[in-house]
Amino acid sequence: MLIQLTYASRTSRVLGPADIKDILSASQRNNARAGITGALCLNNGIFLQQLEGDRAAVNALYHRLLKDTRHKDTAVLDFGEIPHRRFTSWSMGLLGSVDANRQLFLKYSSTPDFDPFSMSTLMLRSFFDEILQNVRWLE
């Protein structure tokens, strides 16, 4: 059964490029094997991640993520069955806070700061729709 899970968390300390690289390479390595696709955003000390794949596989990953000390305050924002994947061509991309994305963050945020914790389910879905079409990914 194919599901989608969206969660947000806060960085537990200042994360450097090495931390980000480590998260990204683990994601690419493990998610491809587990058939998990999705996107990871980091802005303003907040992670927002959308995962899609087999329900058991996504649950297993989410439990592993909860134990990761690089982030805290993890909260599920959206969860449900999906008819098909939206992220297909890669296993996990990181959307950073490059200038071109700032307007996008602001568009779906009620405050000047990117704050997914206060975004509605509808806003989150629109946000990820737009990410697919119109984003500058970090390599």
Ligand X SMILES: Cc1cc2nc3c(=O)[nH]c(=O)nc-3n(C[C@H](O)[C@H](O)[C@H](O)COP(=O)(O)O)c2cc1C
In the complex, the residues that contact ligand X under the rule CB under 6 A are 9, 23, 26-27, 29-31, 40, 47, 49, 61, 64-65, 68, 70-71, 92
User: What minimum distance in Å lies between the beta carbon of 13 and ligand X?
Assistant: 11
Min dist. Cβ of residue 78 to ligand X (A): 16
Nearer to ligand X among residue 66 and residue 98 (C-beta) = 66
The span from the CA of 67 to the CA of 107, in Å, is 32
Rounded to the nearest 5 degrees, what angle is found at the Cα of 71, between the Cα atoms of 66 and 74? 50
The Cα 79–Cα 70 span in angstroms is 23
Q: Closer to ligand X at the Cβ: 62 or 125?
A: 62
Cα end-to-end distance, the chain, whole Å = 31
- Non-local CB neighbours of 29 within 8 Å, separated by 6+ positions: none
Nearer to ligand X, 47 or 128 (CB): 47
Q: Taking the complex as a whole, how short is the minimal distance between the CB of residue 46 and ligand X, in angstroms?
A: 10
